[in-house]
Structure 1
Amino acid sequence: MEIPYTISTRPDTGLWNAKIGIWLFLASEVMLFGGLFSAYIFLRIDAAPGMWPHGLLNVPVGTMNTAILILSSVTVVLAWASLKMRRYRAYWWYMLATISCGVIFLTVKLAYEWPQKFEHFGAYIKPEALGKYEKYLGNERRAEKGMEPRIEITGHLHNQNAKEYEVALDPVNAEPDNPSMDRPHFFPLPVTDKIATIEKEDVERATMFLPTHSAYFASYFTITGLHGMHVLGGVL
């Protein structure tokens, strides 16, 4: 049985099946990612003071990866146009460029951006123990400025035993009273050589920067992982 309107247009829409299909697909993608971003926004609004991290993402690398994806959208359109004009050599070159952009994007995401998170450590301090770690949190200065308290100490897990963690501190915890450290940076600052000892009995929860760390990272890995699967599907 022949499927109608595969190359001819439908009388009711003026479109053929393939074009209707691609528009329905795009609409479903908008709804999917729109729902995920909406969930992220509501989680952010409902987060308790000090529970939502900031300044953790590498802006230059993220900007570069975004530019690579935009470039791939240009090259795939050029490939399609070349195919319509029967310029097959140009088509293959543009398709190769598109696939290369997708591979570069996934390589940066999976070999650089995600592993940086997996190697990072965060410990949420119990409310009754915050004063004990004031030298790493700087909450007195934050209170004077009307800022929400900081309750997490972050860095690289240097060592741990049954009773305590040893953490090589991020600059924001190594110098909590330094205003230049207490803000997001375009270029991420390296971990310092200052070691903090945190007693496990003072910790509400502690983990690497994984989806189980917080609602922020659960949202981050869900959205970027799903997006990465879309890119992988496009490459294949």
Structure 2
Amino acid sequence: MSQKLKQSKWDAGRYDAQFGYVSRLAGGVIELLDPQPGETVLDLGCGTGELAEEIRARGAEVVLVDSDPEMVVAASRRLQQSAVLADGHDFKVDEPVDAVFSNAALHWMTRPAEVVRSVRAALKPGGRFVAEMGGANNVAAVIGALRRALAERGLAEGMRVPWYFPEPAEYGALLEANGFRVSLVEHFPRLTDLDDCPEGVVDWLRMFGGALIEHVPEADRPEVLRRAGELAAPELLRDGRWYADYWRLRFVAVVEESGR
């Protein structure tokens, strides 16, 4: 499988400690995947490997793929097998797999047609692509609060949103245009408790929003994040508990056998 080296942007230990909900809330996606003994499942954007471990516990072999070096190390350690450092836009496999699974990773891959084509090339005829990602409106309140905090300093125009949050019809059409038959697409809100994040939205932005403020002078970033949290509080701080306003896009698609 192709490998591309890059500098780590994740703190794998902090990710597990403060953002374990990303994996805890993915049970429904694994049920849709329904991994079977003897199958090989590629986990695209495997992170620290928590979900791949559950898939393997059901009897399937797993292939671990992530684009971040620290996540690759963490997943390799957790499952005691080598994870592969590769870009989701153009990864390749040595042997086709039965399924490609992905949770909370596809929205970081901003050239989705390339990702879908790579996934299709990795699958056996009749293989399935089962995933959950951020959909349209995902973390709109978080982004809006940060944008207002930046605007107060005249910095809003420099903000770059690093995610791809599609409408369900858009992503379904992309899958079908690349040889998949789509059997399920769901788009739903999931207000998510940031119970392990003492500073709530500020902690969330520190972990996931670095690209949003990379144009901000480093000395000014703590105050920008503090102000973003203050602006987000009326909507996302409820009865003393912080939440993130997630919208999830979940789908199941199968390679059309006649197209292989």
Name the one with the larger strand percent: 2
* Larger radius of gyration between Structure 1 and Structure 2: 1
Name the one with the larger helix percent: 1
**Same structural fold, with TM-score higher than 0.5 when normalized by the shorter chain:** no
* TM-score, L = length of structure 1: 0.23
